[in-house]
Structure 1
Amino acid sequence: MKTTAGWILGALALIAMSQAEPAPAAAPEGWTSRSPREEIRPQFSYDPKGGRNGAGSFLIAHDRREGLQGCWTRSFFVEGGRCYRFAAVRKGRGLDLARRSAVVRILWRDENDKPVLLDTPWERDVLKGFPATAEAEHPTDQGTDAAGWTEVSGVYRTPSKARRAQVELHLQWAPGGSVEWSEVSLQEVAPPGPRKARLATIHHRPKGKTAEENRAGYVPLIESAAKQNADLVVLGETLTYVNTGRSYAEAAEVVPGPSTKFFGDLARAHNLYIVAGLIERDGPLLYNVAVLLGPDGALAGKYRKVCLPRSEVEAGVTPGNEFPVFSTRFGKVGLMVCYDGFFPEVARHLTMNGAEVIAWPVWGCNPL
């Protein structure tokens, strides 16, 4: 009797355990988890009811150890020379920098799952004999909704020899963090239409003694660029200050002001964009700025130089702290000024903010 009772209690305990801890859900067919080494493998799971729309999600979680790294991965069939759009959404928790830790990688492979070569080989005067292998693609963050889901997407043309796309959904270097990936797709799309723009720079050091004379010196050069069908013309830095003998404070002007009016009229007359370097006065503060004038003649944007050389600090110039990007008829334009280009931060921030072209008025910087 005691044996029977013990058997019944044991069976009931097993039933209760099975009800309390259901077996982990299997990932959809074709998806597997991977880590470079078992000792740095994170925890993987699949939630069939997870994700933004409840259709399922791939989860990766890190404990508090440093250096954990792994991904969910799947191979998709593709045709070479076609365009494909990858898209997914992710939601991170406890991530210091999601775009560094929760990333997507797409690798192009042939029918034997081997890396493919680029359609256009590298220049052969360097690295002779080194294979020009197609590099991985890294879809970028597009936007985050109110619930915290970020779209990660991009459109890519496959190398002609590609037959498979190996998609990897990563979480790396995120102690205590986790990520949920969902709505993963790779679909063929029509090739993007061409966006052609002609960009011009004017190498000119003004020799006038006044702001008016310095501005006027650019007129024939802008006209020449316009005759060559330029869409964007970039002028020099602090052009109303150069060689005038005036101080920064004496050369400064409000923005919008006389210089933006002058170059805005030229932009409208020639149906193009102009970027000019000026010194801006805003109350008691001076800024080294780049301004963008549109083909309608209006001020389309302004950027205040962030990285100041010692001479500008000594002159009482104030650094900027924003990295705006402006929409134009040919794409998104960011601005930076001279010394900004000696450091990576400004260009990096502009790129992160969506800049496709960076216009860069400079004092000299030859031979750049």
Structure 2
Amino acid sequence: MTRLTGKQESTLTAAPGRTVEAALIHPTLILLALLALPLPGHSHDGKTLLSQDTFDSSGAGWETACQRQEISPEFSVDLNKSMTGRGSLSLYGASNSSARGCWRKVVEGIEGGAFYTFSAAFASTGIRQTHHRVFARLEWRNAQGGKIGNTREYPPQNGITDGEWRFVEHTFQAPESARSVALELFISQAPQGRVWWDNIQLIEVRPPPHRVVQLATVNCRPGGNSSVAETVAEFCAVADKAGAQGADIVCLGEGINLIGVGRPGGGASKYQHVAEPIPGPTTEALSKVAREHGMYIVAALGEREGAVIYNTAVLIGRDGEVKGKYRKVHLPEGEYDQGCSAGDSYPVWETDFGRVGIMICWDSWFVDPARALAAAGAEIILLPIWGGNNTLIAARAIENHVYVASCGYDVESRIYGPWGALLAEATERPGVAMVEVDLNYLPSCPWPWPLSDTRHVLMQASRYDVKIPELER
């Protein structure tokens, strides 16, 4: 279950705290941005199973846990450090690069199928990339006290800070057979690191509301036109069909002011011939359709800003306003040959139904763009694409646990689910494909080894500290 509510439409960067439009994103900032996802719109109006901010030398009901004594961190209760109350649970890496262990407490009274919000505060020193080295984990247990499959939960950092204290928080649904949960507060492989845990809560909450989105893509490839306006009109016509079918957001193609536009003396246009300002004539045409149907539109076009030309995608809001733009980061040589310049950031936007990001064509061949967007909170990635590889597009959905809607010319226009399942395909040209998705209730894991809240599991395990020397020369 992803975590976003609200009605704002804004651009977010991949920086500690709330995510906003980022400059070229370093992997560490990507992870910080992922951990800055906002909380679900739940009321904490249920039963409080645990609320603890005071600790004594005995650990106040918490026990220490480690797989082997040889890799045990040093455990202590620090009576002199706390956020509120008195004392905190401390772990130290003990100058051991393999040290890994946790404070653990089993909480009874879990009801199978109910929703629970877990939160905790932590402070740390001597630790970089805390997503991997400082984390909380929930392990659901059945009536006999046994672990239930592999359904471990990793609440992410929520981007809020209070001085030196940061917070992990998330809402989870307990498995039907769960009757208790083990709360675990970790330090992992941080030899000179120390962490303090405090303000630990587990509260039953109401189920999250459904967050349904009508997600659409189109199949449209204009040709034989003598002007940009003719080509753009064809895209507007098929976008109009998507709007008439009730789309909340529709993905159009790449270079919609370029494809199918001929030159007066013969031959095809290039980006330097058609590039225009944003806002400009093409976005004005798209805005009219978006406003008429009250839907979002994503499309890529040649953009000119002063002397510079970009392959740029725009997000048009329901009100017809340009909410933001993404300049393609990975350019093939053919676009450099047309005088285009590369972008340098991966923006994410908050819409009235969730967070969206955009890739363009060749971006889909690289792991970094989709990873950056997902880390900054994107739940849906829109992909205007000339031609490409569907296997790679599906992989971007799987590895980041997001929906991906692509609109192609030499590759199919498709919508993939978070597990890579093909949900819809626009087979007619021109034509529309649309699917209803619920961003608060993602499809369950189809594999025999479930990964629970998959995005947080994968990001928690990511090792951005392992360098690739060949790429750092």
TM-score bin, normalised by smaller chain: 0.7 to 0.9
Partner of 2:248: 231
| Contact map agreement 1:48 1:54 (CA 8 A) in 2 | no
| Contact map agreement 1:50 1:57 (CA 8 A) in 2 | yes
Partner of 2:144: 112
Partner of 1:361: 384
Residues 173, 287 of structure 1: alpha-carbon distance in 2 compared, 3 angstrom cutoff:
farther
Partner of 1:44: 75
Question: 1:140, 1:326 → 2: CA distance?
Answer: 20
* Residue 71 (structure 1) aligned to one of 102, 105, 112: 102
Structure (1/2) with the larger strand percentage = 2
Question: 2:310, 2:198 → 1: CA distance?
Answer: 45
1:96 aligns with 2:96: no
- Paired residue secondary structure (1:267): helix
1:156 aligns with 2:172: yes
Question: 2:301, 2:156 → 1: CA distance?
Answer: 34
Question: 1:359, 1:145 → 2: CA distance?
Answer: 32
1:212 aligns with 2:229: yes
1:60 aligns with 2:91: yes
1:241 aligns with 2:258: yes
- Paired residue secondary structure (1:66): coil
1:168 aligns with 2:191: no
* Residue 198 (structure 2) aligned to one of 169, 177, 182: 182
Using the TM superposition, give the Cα deviation of residue 333 of structure 1 relative to its aligned residue in structure 2, in angstroms: 1.4
Worse-superposed segment, 211-220 or 62-71: 62-71
Q: Aligned letter for 2:196?
A: E
1:291 aligns with 2:314: yes
Using the TM superposition, give the Cα deviation of residue 52 of structure 1 relative to its aligned residue in structure 2, in angstroms: 2.0
Using the TM superposition, give the Cα deviation of residue 183 of structure 1 relative to its aligned residue in structure 2, in angstroms: 1.0
Identity over aligned pairs, percent: 36
Using the TM superposition, give the Cα deviation of residue 262 of structure 1 relative to its aligned residue in structure 2, in angstroms: 1.1
| Matching of residues 109-148 of structure 1 within 5 Å | 109-116=141-148, 133-145=149-161, 147-148=163-164
| Contact map agreement 1:69 1:172 (CA 8 A) in 2 | yes
Partner of 1:81: 113
* 1:271-316 deviation digits (Å, cap 9, x = unpaired): 1000011122222222222110001110111112222223223434
Partner of 2:424: none
1:327 aligns with 2:350: yes
* 1:198-249 deviation digits (Å, cap 9, x = unpaired): 1001122222343211111112311221122110001011111123212222
Q: Aligned letter for 1:74?
A: K
| Contact map agreement 2:357 2:380 (CA 8 A) in 1 | yes
* 1:255-281 deviation digits (Å, cap 9, x = unpaired): 122211111111001110000111222
Question: 1:64, 1:351 → 2: CA distance?
Answer: 34
Q: Aligned letter for 1:288?
A: N
Partner of 1:11: none
Q: Aligned letter for 1:65?
A: N
Using the TM superposition, give the Cα deviation of residue 49 of structure 1 relative to its aligned residue in structure 2, in angstroms: 4.6
Question: 2:170, 2:376 → 1: CA distance?
Answer: 16
Structure 1 residue runs of 4+, over 3 Å off? Answer: 313-316
Partner of 2:48: none
Q: Aligned letter for 1:344?
A: V
Structure 1 unaligned blocks of 5 or more: 1-23, 117-132
Using the TM superposition, give the Cα deviation of residue 195 of structure 1 relative to its aligned residue in structure 2, in angstroms: 0.8
TM-score w.r.t. the length of structure 1 is: 0.84
1:272 aligns with 2:304: no
Q: How many residues align?
A: 328
| Contact map agreement 2:235 2:256 (CA 8 A) in 1 | no
Partner of 2:370: 347
| Contact map agreement 2:359 2:384 (CA 8 A) in 1 | yes
- Paired residue secondary structure (1:218): helix
- What is the alpha-carbon root mean square deviation over aligned residues? 1.8
| Contact map agreement 2:294 2:318 (CA 8 A) in 1 | yes
Worse-superposed segment, 329-338 or 56-65: 56-65
| Contact map agreement 1:278 1:289 (CA 8 A) in 2 | yes
* 1:60-95 deviation digits (Å, cap 9, x = unpaired): 111333222111111112110101001112222222
Worse-superposed segment, 312-321 or 267-276: 312-321
* 1:132-191 deviation digits (Å, cap 9, x = unpaired): x35211111111325132221111111110111112111112231222221111110011
Partner of 1:33: 64
Question: 2:88, 2:339 → 1: CA distance?
Answer: 54
Larger radius of gyration: 1
Partner of 2:323: 300
Q: Aligned letter for 1:171?
A: I
Q: Aligned letter for 1:57?
A: S
Q: Aligned letter for 2:130?
A: A
Residues 209, 73 of structure 1: alpha-carbon distance in 2 compared, 3 angstrom cutoff:
farther
TM-score w.r.t. the length of structure 2 is: 0.66
Residues 265, 83 of structure 1: alpha-carbon distance in 2 compared, 3 angstrom cutoff:
same
* 1:40-61 deviation digits (Å, cap 9, x = unpaired): 1111112245332244322111
Question: 2:219, 2:371 → 1: CA distance?
Answer: 25
